[in-house]
């Protein structure tokens, strides 16, 4: 049985025991012999003697060449072509809660549009007192706010409804990113236009070739939506809607219209393609839920996972993962290493912000035997992440969207992990 570290603070006695063991090793030549074989000490490394890059070598810096494998990846069989398609965030390579801009998953329906900001406008029309047009310069004169929010595609984990299918949390859970946005409260722009009393819905529309549209109730539009132009401090990336995108905190990613060019105020929803043919949740009886906007609480262990096996032998081991909820914060995540016989409260680390990713850790003493790992998120409303079978009992297996069931990884004696389902 693997030991669970209590409190994780090394005692003075344990510290002395460790020092004594090292002393014994040195006396028998063990530590010295290992050091002699360590290539890190095979003379001085070139970077210790030769000069590094000048400051003008990389005006826009990129990650180390040793991190070149850290990339978004697509699953080609999911869509008809790579233009109206999706790629996935490499969650297993990341830590903390912020997703670097270049690794934020992409989903577009007509390719990533390259929009000239000088020719970009935001129009507000429909049931307003003043139908308005804003330039990017106009928008940057409104008061703005900073918020960290996750954006999860409603189809994240959608390929897993019928059973374990993809081997890697990048593919099972990577349609998500978590970014600090700088943007104008949509409420201010709508107030500037003057929403009429009959205005109950807005239609957000993108400037790309798909002309992406979604209907959003006015209550949400006047609550916490942002019209954002920066992510993680810099301008939005092209593939994230440069120069302007809608931020709809806690709600499915498809509503966060990119390349935002128009907001129309109306008295009824529009029932466009992405809220009828797509992004409706077909249940087992053949009826479908519509307007399933909120993202349910969810979590996943990112390390170890199929793309990130345990590469060391038994002993101190770090399990880590992410949790989020479209309804608030994540005060607690439970972790099991025996397939749900026993659960332990994970250690939350980093900022706990509403509708943002949360990072959790579970530090334990691995005995080298196989593990069945799961995590279970609790959100600030008291909602507890269900199992996949609990979800299937309510929804069947055809709903594609909103699969927030508990994920299981089987880890074998070698530390290799596999996507499985368990009884």
Partner 1 sequence: MSRFPDPRMIRGSLGAFVVAALALPALAEDAGQFPEGGFGLGREATPDEIALWDIDIRPDGKGLPAGSGSVEAGEEIWTYECAHCHGDFAEGIDRWPVLAGGEGTLANDRPVKTIGSYWPYLSTVYDYVYRAMPFGYSQSLSADDIYAITAYLLYSNYIVEDDFVLSRENFTEVRLPNEDGFFMDDRAETELPVFIGEPCMTDCKDSVEITARAVILDVTPEDGGEGGGSID
Q: Which of positions 155-174 make contact with partner 1 (CB under 8 A)?
A: 155, 158-159, 161-168, 171
Q: How far is the CB of 55 from partner 1 (least distance, A)?
A: 33
- Between CA 310 and CA 163 the distance in angstroms is 24
Among 31, 70, 235, 422, indicate the residue that binds partner 1 (CB under 8 A): 422
Among 100, 217, 331, 340, indicate the residue that binds partner 1 (CB under 8 A): 340
Q: How far is the CB of 309 from partner 1 (least distance, A)?
A: 13
407 binds partner 1 (CB under 8 A): no
User: Cα angle at 309 between 154 and 82, to 5 degrees?
Assistant: 40
Q: How far is the CB of 378 from partner 1 (least distance, A)?
A: 9
92 binds partner 1 (CB under 8 A): no
Cα 161 to Cα 79, 165, 170, 392, 419, distances in angstroms: 17, 9, 16, 8, 13
Cα 47 from chain centroid? 35
Q: How far is the CB of 154 from partner 1 (least distance, A)?
A: 9
- Between CA 261 and CA 245 the distance in angstroms is 9
Cα 119 to Cα 134, 136, 138, 304, distances in angstroms: 11, 9, 13, 46
Name the one range near partner 1 by CB under 8 A: 53-61, 261-269, 310-318, 361-369: 261-269
- Between CA 119 and CA 279 the distance in angstroms is 31
Kindly tell me which of 147 and 245 has the beta carbon lying closer to partner 1: 147
Kindly tell me which of 95 and 192 has the beta carbon lying closer to partner 1: 192
CB atoms within 10 A of CB 36: 10
Q: Which of 189, 192, 187 is nearest to 130 (CA)?
A: 192
Helix (H, G, I), strand (E, B), or coil: what is residue 4? strand
419 binds partner 1 (CB under 8 A): yes
Among 185, 249, 309, 415, indicate the residue that binds partner 1 (CB under 8 A): 185
Please, what's the b/e burial string for 378-397 (b: 16 or more CB within 10 A of its CB; e: otherwise)? bbeeeeebbbbeebbeebeb
Which of positions 7-66 make contact with partner 1 (CB under 8 A)? none
Kindly tell me which of 171 and 242 has the beta carbon lying closer to partner 1: 171
Kindly tell me which of 95 and 397 has the beta carbon lying closer to partner 1: 397
Which of positions 368-397 make contact with partner 1 (CB under 8 A)? 372, 376, 381-386, 390, 394
- Between CA 391 and CA 406 the distance in angstroms is 10
280 binds partner 1 (CB under 8 A): yes
123 binds partner 1 (CB under 8 A): yes
Q: Which of 213, 212, 216 is nearest to 266 (CA)?
A: 216
400 binds partner 1 (CB under 8 A): yes
Q: How far is the CB of 122 from partner 1 (least distance, A)?
A: 8
- Count residues binding partner 1 (CB under 8 A): 113
Kindly tell me which of 194 and 368 has the beta carbon lying closer to partner 1: 194
What is the residue whose two structure tokens read 């798909």?
210
- Between CA 301 and CA 409 the distance in angstroms is 8
Which of positions 188-217 make contact with partner 1 (CB under 8 A)? 188, 191-192, 194, 203, 205, 209-211, 213
Which of positions 284-323 make contact with partner 1 (CB under 8 A)? 284-294, 296, 306
80 binds partner 1 (CB under 8 A): yes
Contact criterion met (CB below 8 Å) for 47 and 55: no
73 binds partner 1 (CB under 8 A): yes
Contact criterion met (CB below 8 Å) for 150 and 110: no
H/E element holding 173?
A: helix 169-173
Which of positions 341-370 make contact with partner 1 (CB under 8 A)? 341-344, 351, 353
CB atoms within 10 A of CB 33: 10
């Amino acid at each position: 049985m693997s030991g669970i570290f209590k409190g994780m603070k090394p005692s003075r006695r344990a510290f002395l025991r460790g020092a004594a063991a090292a002393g014994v090793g040195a006396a028998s030549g063990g530590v010295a012999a290992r050091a002699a074989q360590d290539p890190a000490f095979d003379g001085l490394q070139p970077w210790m003697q030769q000069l590094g890059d000048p400051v003008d070598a990389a005006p826009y810096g990129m990650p180390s060449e040793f991190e070149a494998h850290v990339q978004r990846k697509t699953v080609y069989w999911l869509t008809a072509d790579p233009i109206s398609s999706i790629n996935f965030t490499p969650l297993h390579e990341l830590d903390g809660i912020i997703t670097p801009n270049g690794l934020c998953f992409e989903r577009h329906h007509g390719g990533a549009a390259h929009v000239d900001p000088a020719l970009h406008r935001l129009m507000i029309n429909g049931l307003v007192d003043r139908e308005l047009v804003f330039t990017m310069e106009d928008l940057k004169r409104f008061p703005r706010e900073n918020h960290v929010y996750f954006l999860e595609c409603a189809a994240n984990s959608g390929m897993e409804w019928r059973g374990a299918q993809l081997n890697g949390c990048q593919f099972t859970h990577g349609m998500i990113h978590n970014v600090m946005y700088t943007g104008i409260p949509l409420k201010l722009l709508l107030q500037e236009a003057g929403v009429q009393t009959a205005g109950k819905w807005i239609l957000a529309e993108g400037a790309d070739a798909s002309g992406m549209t979604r209907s959003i109730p006015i209550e949400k539009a006047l609550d916490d939506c942002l019209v954002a132009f920066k992510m993680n401090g810099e301008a939005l990336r092209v593939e994230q809607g440069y120069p302007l995108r809608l931020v709809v905190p806690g709600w499915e990613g498809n509503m966060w219209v990119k390349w935002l060019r128009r907001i129309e105020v109306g008295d009824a929803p529009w029932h466009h393609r992405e809220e009828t043919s797509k992004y409706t949740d077909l249940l087992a009886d053949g009826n479908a839920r519509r307007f399933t906007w909120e993202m349910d609480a969810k979590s996943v262990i990112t390390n170890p996972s199929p793309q990130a096996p345990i590469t060391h032998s038994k002993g101190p081991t770090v399990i880590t993962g992410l949790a989020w909820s479209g309804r608030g914060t994540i005060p607690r995540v439970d972790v099991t290493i025996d397939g749900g016989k026993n659960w332990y409260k994970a250690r939350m680390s980093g900022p706990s912000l509403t509708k943002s990713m949360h990072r959790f850790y579970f530090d334990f003493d691995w005995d080298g035997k196989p593990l069945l790992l799961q995590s279970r998120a609790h959100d600030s409303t008291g909602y507890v992440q269900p199992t996949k079978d609990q979800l299937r009992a309510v929804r069947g297996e055809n709903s594609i969207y909103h699969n927030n069931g508990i994920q299981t990884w089987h880890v074998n004696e070698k530390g290799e992990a596999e996507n499985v389902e368990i009884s």
